[in-house]
A = this chain, B = another copy of it.
Amino acid sequence: MTGFINYKKVLIVGLGMIGGSYAQKLSSLGFEVGALARRQETLDYALEKGYIAHGRLEVTRDYVSQFDLVVSALYPKAFLAWVEKYQDFLKSGAVITDVTGVKRAVVPAVQGMLRPDLEFVPAHPMAGSERSGVEYADCRVFAGANFIITPTERNTPEGIELIRTLGCILGFRHIAVLTPEQHDEMIGFLSQLTHCIAVTLMDCKESEHLAEYTGDSFRDLTRIARINENMWTELFLENRDELLSQMDLFLEKFTQLRNALAAGDTETMKEMMRLSTYRRSFFDKK
């Protein structure tokens, strides 16, 4: 392994919004980007836009073995199945990374089955869109976003460094290294819980007539209620224990505020608001 410049042929497996955005950015930087997709229209679109140099619907040894770096942009289970089925096609020394939003369900399983001459460096780009599909690819979403690498003791310093460089050239502002466990706890709270809240809010009432009275708050809190139900259901289930404990924490605090209101306990209400104001202030700083 001799630095990023030697990984010039990159295979994107799964050309959705995120896979497409990786392809777009890497092609614009001069990498030779290939892709595996399920539909010819996806490949046609990405070819026409210049996101990829070539692509295939079928996974063949001939095609896959040319790549130095493989980025899986599949859902968690599909990623596991892909590695199991096709890892034999990869060239020796190839590095695999991913974009999966849950890590404990993916990292040990993939690393445990991987050929010893391959390396899987797990990563989670914390950027995206509530829209699905390559036609929503837009690598500008990476600017200012966070990129989390979740290596284990099976990873090499060189592998981790390679994926850190990948995050860097994709344009992420902050690159962090966490364990898969730390990642899943944090994501359960910051991302999965917030999606549960947005979905719940939107499910509470008919919305057609509400739209004309809505202020910014409700719009902000429900933007992510437009959700890909297949992907998120899978992500939630793959992180079930953590997400449940984050939901229960939220329920406990929400009930505390509810009961303070019911009791007319203004001091508790104000205390909770002062705390939220204080803690939110850290998000305004750089």
From A219, which residue of chain B is reached at the shortest CB distance?
B283
Number of copies: 2
Over the window 171-203 of chain A, the binary record of Cβ atoms lying under 8 Å from chain B Cβ atoms (1 yes, 0 no) is 000101010000000100111011111111111
What is the bound-complex CA distance between A127 and B217, given in angstroms?
Answer: 10
B198 & A218 in contact (Cβ 8 Å cutoff)? no
B275 & A236 in contact (Cβ 8 Å cutoff)? no
Interface residues on A, range: 35 or more
User: What B residues does A107 contact at CB under 8 A?
Assistant: none
Across the interface, A257 reaches (CB within 8 A) one of B176, B200, B248, B275, namely B200
What is the bound-complex CA distance between A145 and B217, given in angstroms?
Answer: 12
Over the window 148-165 of chain A, the binary record of Cβ atoms lying under 8 Å from chain B Cβ atoms (1 yes, 0 no) is 100000000000000000
A258 & B272 in contact (Cβ 8 Å cutoff)? no
User: What B residues does A193 contact at CB under 8 A?
Assistant: 201
Minimal beta-carbon separation of A203 from chain B (angstroms): 5
- Take A218-B190, A233-B270, A280-B226 as given contacts and tell me if A148 and B213 are in contact as well, using a CB distance cutoff of 8 Å: yes
From A195, which residue of chain B is reached at the shortest CB distance?
B217
Extra contacts, 17 of them, besides A193-B201, A227-B273, A233-B273 (Cβ < 8 A), are A127-B215, A128-B215, A146-B212, A189-B205, A190-B210, A191-B217, A197-B201, A199-B257, A200-B253, A204-B246, A204-B253, A220-B221, A225-B276, A240-B262, A243-B261, A247-B257, A247-B261
